[in-house]
Amino acid sequence: MKKILFLCFIIFRILFPENLRIVSLSPQITENIYLLGKGDSIIGNTIYCTRPEQAKYKEKVGNVIDVNVEKIYSLKPDIVFATNLTNPKDVKKLKELGIRVEIFSYPKNFSELCEQFIKLGEIIGEKQKAESIIKKIKNEIEKIKKKTEGKKKIKVLIQIGTRPLWVAGEDSFIGDFVKFSGGENVIKGEGGIYSIEEIIKKNPEIIIITSMGIDTEQEKKAWQKYKMIDAVKNNKIFVFDSDKLCSPTPPTFLEVVKEFYNIFH
């Protein structure tokens, strides 16, 4: 029995070392690690890892696509968290060097966002905390969804790119923002490139623009020539931070749902 207990202890220390050394190749993952109370375990991250403030001062190992494998190796990490955007060649090199790499794909919806958060918590030894955070957020979202019952669904367009016009569809976690807030996404499916003529036909009552590489004020002005669209005619064009909208953590997901609810109703 003592041998079994000792073996379990050794396995636990291997999986969850007390001083875990982490390299994060995703701003979203970096922020989630801080949320789970393990920010001090991060020894390296990307140039885009700027939230929370402390993340800015970690050793930089590249961007979300291309990284410096030699630099990561020199940091002697126990684990590297990557995404499906990370260069596969770099991932392969890291694995060949004997470094554990965990890859998180871009979540397709809120449910996947929650599952990945709990998985991350499990890997870094904070599963219970992760589950507790998710439980509270799901409860809050359910309260908002109940408040929308019986209310008119506002037609919404989410713009995430320009020239060409790129919009988010209802079958995405961005679509879940709209759905949970009591809105109706005018774009069905996953979204993609649409012409202005198609948008005019759909006639959204609200247009939301992300700040992802877009001059948002210029883009708001660009819509003004289409007064036949209700959102333009009624001055219902809003700008949202791209980090919160396009790569949310579970808490920022809830923040956006609350903000959308206030805009829609």
Is 168 part of any domain? yes
Across the range 3-30, mean pLDDT stands at 70
How many CB atoms are located within 10 Å of the residue 208 CB? 27
Tell me: do 91 and 143 sit in the same domain.
Answer: no
Specify the number of domains making up the chain: 2
Confidence of residue 161 (pLDDT cuts 50, 70, 90): confident
Is 255 part of any domain? yes
Segment among 31-40, 182-191, 203-212 with least mean pLDDT = 203-212
Q: Which residues contact 59 (CB under 8 A, 6 or more apart)?
A: 43, 44, 45, 71, 75
159: domain CATH number? 3.40.50.1980
Phi-psi region of 218 (alpha: psi -120 to 50; beta: other; left: phi over 0): alpha
Dump pLDDT digits (tens) for 75-106: 999 999 999 999 999 999 999 999 999 999 99
Handedness of CA 246, 248, 252, 257 (dihedral sign): positive
Is 112 part of any domain? no
Distance set, CA 11 to CA 7, 64, 76, 104 (Å) = 6, 31, 20, 23
- Rounded Cα–Cα distance for residues 145 and 175 (Å): 14
Tell me: do 220 and 143 sit in the same domain.
Answer: yes
Is 117 part of any domain? no
Is 80 part of any domain? yes
Tell me: do 204 and 145 sit in the same domain.
Answer: yes
Tell me: do 30 and 98 sit in the same domain.
Answer: yes
Confidence (pLDDT) at 68: 98
Is 70 part of any domain? yes
Q: Which residues contact 130 (CB under 8 A, 6 or more apart)?
A: 36, 117, 118, 120, 121, 122
The amino acid that residue 159 corresponds to is: Q
Domain interval for residue 243? 134-264
